[in-house]
């Protein structure tokens, strides 16, 4: 069988913050790809503002480098399980993976999630132990941890014989030795290991064409762009080809443009052959998993698996008294068009119309997946409201099942008891506990996904910010009865429209935690704080001090109030209860009751209690 020795296709997988994107930047810099004057940003592969701010990869990216006469396609994959849908499809396009592992932290849950999928597809792994320059680095133990993980995930004998490269991506050094003094000022050790161990693609250019779409992109000029791999044959610009749809139907179209990858750019190519990764345009409704074939030999490749959404939220037009003040796009038509646009590229997302024309049910892979969509929309000028996230139940063998997550927690020993207690109340079961030294404990739990909604904020306060939590979807299991993970405290709800005053806030400080600063505009029904009891309390935060002509003995003392807790988008989504909305605008994030009027709200609550 003829091989294309000039080509290699690899994916880079790693846990969030283990240096994957930095490593790709170094590979780009040190290859024969970029001009000497090309400047690379610190996170060149993360093109989205949110990716740069949070230091995470959300969308899979393609790049390619030339090294010693070889073309190496590199796919940078998301490390977060909420974007697992991307991961699985990327792995179909490559022949091997580089697993980047932090020399101190070792293997982590998201590493496990992606690696399991790579091993199932029989891909060859190369392990890069990164950050070996850290004083706390323990490379030998980390390699043992990787080996244990591979055994646990069912790797075959060949996969267990993985090569290891030790590197410091931030310094641009690498070596085949775990001794820090042997580090060389180049990435050659990684490149040479890739060429030696990653299988070259099979050269089947003379056979009938098969190209499968793994990722989607969208461009205003050419419409949908299908990104994928040529598995068989040759494709040329201007060719008449047959597209086999997911449902088995066939459509013919002409290939208007083929783009290959080099460095950070897409470059136009006239033809592509088996093994090449390309982007294809020319057909409006091309979709993930579909196969582009030879007109005379229309043979479809096996369909790609797309992970089902596990969480849903309602997106609706803003109905608060401040509606339309701060947003550029405020109508239901704007909202619907934007959500439909997102569906063009995000196949893990689902959008369904509801009985109300102003309301849409949006389902995704988790809180992070949906909150990033919301954040992108508000930055683009959209103003809308969202409801509390709910898990999506699934009927299996006549019984309702709910999604469960595997949670890994690293925390100082002193907070261990509080974490176990809090997760116990959320129906979590401990699967493992290891003392990792230096007074640190690592615990693994299995927990219903709804138990994690809103837990991140509580976790940070329990561990005083010293805890690290990572979670990944595990499986669907039978539904656990009873409410899980609900907010324990009620809210402080404004009764009036107006501006929050220092005097009004001072009078409420002993009732709970305030969310607004003096001078913030509020409206009746808006949530201005968290009550320190279980019930909601209607308050007057706009109250002004009555002026009199009697001088106070403390007149010259300045009124001092506690610093308010300003809620981020994520915190607001996690804080919300079922009868509340989060109002999202380009300038503000406000929490509110769904029913703004106090008496109507009380009537609705009484009715609910009767039904219960």
Domain boundaries, the chain: 7-197, 210-294, 311-391, 396-478, 491-549+558-579+594-611
**Does the model's pTM come out above 0.85?**
no
Task: Give all strands (DSSP E) within 427-490, no chain letters.
Answer: 429-437, 440-448, 468-478
Distance of alpha carbon 393 from alpha carbon 219, whole angstroms: 35
Tell me how far the alpha carbon of residue 234 is from its chain's centroid.
35
Q: What is the pLDDT of residue 437?
A: 72
Residue 51 to residue 5: CA distance in whole angstroms: 35
- Cα atoms found within 13 Å of the Cα of residue 401, Cβ hemisphere only: 12
**Spatial separation of the C-alpha atoms in residues 607 and 447, rounded to whole Å:** 32
The domain 210-294 is classified under which CATH number: 2.30.110.10, 2.40.30.10, 2.60.120.10, 3.40.1160.10?
2.40.30.10
Full DSSP string of 194-244: HHHHSPPPB--TTSPPEEEEEEEEEETTTEEEEEEEEEESEEETT-EEEEE
pLDDT at position 55 is: 44
Q: Provide the pLDDT for residue 309.
A: 83
Residue 395 CA to residue 384 CA, distance in Å, equals: 32
CATH number of this structure's domain 396-478: 3.30.70.240
Going by C-alpha positions, the residue among 306, 445, 447, 303 that lies closest to residue 363 is: 306
CA–CA separation, 526 vs 324, rounded Å?
Answer: 16
19 is in an annotated binding site: yes
**Residue 131 assigned ligand-binding role:** yes
Angle CA(464)–CA(467)–CA(472) in degrees, nearest 5?
140
Which residue in 518, 496, 489, 494 sits closest to 506, CA to CA? 518
Torsion (CA) 530, 532, 536, 539 in degrees, nearest 10: -70
Sheet holding 223-232, edge to edge: 250-254, 240-244, 291-294, 210-219, 223-232, 277-281, 257-262, 265-269
The 3-state secondary structure of 37-85, one letter per residue: CCCCCCCCCCCCHHHHHHCCCCCCEEEEEEECCEEEEEEECCCCHHHHH
Query: What's the pLDDT at 369?
Result: 80
Confirm whether residue 20 is marked as ligand binding: yes
234 is in an annotated binding site: no
**CATH number for the segment(s) 7-197:** 3.40.50.300
Its CATH class, for the domain covering 491-549+558-579+594-611, is mainly beta
584 is in an annotated binding site: no
Instruction: Return the closest-CA partner of residue 188 out of 61, 32, 45.
Output: 32
Question: Is residue 112 within a helix (H) or strand (E), and if so which, with residue range?
Answer: helix 109-120
Class of domain 311-391: alpha beta
Give whole-number Cα distances, 126 to 98, 415, 550, 569, 608, in Å.
5, 36, 79, 38, 57
Residue ranges of the chain with per-residue pLDDT less than 50: 35-48, 51-60, 553, 555-557
Structure confidence at residue 58 (pLDDT): 37
Tell me the per-residue pLDDT of 495-519, one tens digit each, with 9 for 90 and over.
Answer: 989 999 988 898 898 898 999 999 9
Common-topology check for domains 7-197 and 311-391? no
Per-residue pLDDT tens digits for 205-229 = 999 999 998 888 777 677 778 889 9
269 CB contacts (<8 Å, ≥6 apart)? 237, 258, 259, 260, 278
Q: What is the overall mean pLDDT for the chain?
A: 83
């Amino acid at each position: 069988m003829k091989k294309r020795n000039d080509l290699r296709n690899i994916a880079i997988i790693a846990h969030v913050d283990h240096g994957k994107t930095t490593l790709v930047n170094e590979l780009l810099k040190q290859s024969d790809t970029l001009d000497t004057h090309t400047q690379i940003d610190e996170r060149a592969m993360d093109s989205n503002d949110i990716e740069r701010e949070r230091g995470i990869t959300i969308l899979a990216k393609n790049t390619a480098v030339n090294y010693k006469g070889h073309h190496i396609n590199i796919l940078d994959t998301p490390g977060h399980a909420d974007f697992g849908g991307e991961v699985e499809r990327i792995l179909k396009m490559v022949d091997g993976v580089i697993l980047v592992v932090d020399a101190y932290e070792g293997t982590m849950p998201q590493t496990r999630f992606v690696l399991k999928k790579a091993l199932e597809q029989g891909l060859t792994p190369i392990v890069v132990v990164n950050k070996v320059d850290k004083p706390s680095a323990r490379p030998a133990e980390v390699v043992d941890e990787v080996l244990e993980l591979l055994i646990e995930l069912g790797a075959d004998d060949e996969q267990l014989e993985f090569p290891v490269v030790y590197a410091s991506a931030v310094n641009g050094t690498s070596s085949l030795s775990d001794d820090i003094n042997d580090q060389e000022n180049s990435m050659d050790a990684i490149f040479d290991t890739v060429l030696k161990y990653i299988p070259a693609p099979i050269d089947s250019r003379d056979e009938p064409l098969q190209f499968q779409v793994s990722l989607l992109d969208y461009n205003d000029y050419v419409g949908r762009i299908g990104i994928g791999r040529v598995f068989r044959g040759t494709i040329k610009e201007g060719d008449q080809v047959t597209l086999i749809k997911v449902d088995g139907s066939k459509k013919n179209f002409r290939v208007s443009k083929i783009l290959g990858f080099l460095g950070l750019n897409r470059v136009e190519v006239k033809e592509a052959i088996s093994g090449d990764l390309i982007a294809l345009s020319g057909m409006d409704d091309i979709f993930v998993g579909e196969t582009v074939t030879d007109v005379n030999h229309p043979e479809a490749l096996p369909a790609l698996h797309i992970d089902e959404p596990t969480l849903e939220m309602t997106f609706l037009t803003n109905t608060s008294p401040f509606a339309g003040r701060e947003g550029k796009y405020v109508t239901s038509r704007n909202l619907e068009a934007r959500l439909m646009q997102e569906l063009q590229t995000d196949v893990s997302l689902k959008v369904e119309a509801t009985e109300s024309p102003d309301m849409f049910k949006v389902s995704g892979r988790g809180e992070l997946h949906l909150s990033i969509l919301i954040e992108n929309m508000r930055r683009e000028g959209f103003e809308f409201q969202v409801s509390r996230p709910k898990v999506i139940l699934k009927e299996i063998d006549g019984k309702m099942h709910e999604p469960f997550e595997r949670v890994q927690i690293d925390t100082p020993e002193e907070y261990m008891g509080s974490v176990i207690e809090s997760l116990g109340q959320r129906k979590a079961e401990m699967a493992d506990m290891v003392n990792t030294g230096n007074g640190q404990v690592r615990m693994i739990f299995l927990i219903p996904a709804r138990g994690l909604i809103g837990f991140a904020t509580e976790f940070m306060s329990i561990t005083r910010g010293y805890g690290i939590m990572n979670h990944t979807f595990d499986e669907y299991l039978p539904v656990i009865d009873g409410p899980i993970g609900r907010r324990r405290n009620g809210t402080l709800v404004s009764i009036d429209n107006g501006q929050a005053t220092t005097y009004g806030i001072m009078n409420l400080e002993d009732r709970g935690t305030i969310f607004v600063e003096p001078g913030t505009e509020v409206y009746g029904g808006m949530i201005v704080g968290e009550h320190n009891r279980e019930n909601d309390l209607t308050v007057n935060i706009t109250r002004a001090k009555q002026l009199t002509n009697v001088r106070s003995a403390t007149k010259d003392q300045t009124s001092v109030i506690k610093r308010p807790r300003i809620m981020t988008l994520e915190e607001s989504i996690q804080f919300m209860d079922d009868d509340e909305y989060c109002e999202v605008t380009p300038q503000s994030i406000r929490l509110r009751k769904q029913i703004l009027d106090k008496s109507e709200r009380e009537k609705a609550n009484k009715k609910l209690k009767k039904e219960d």
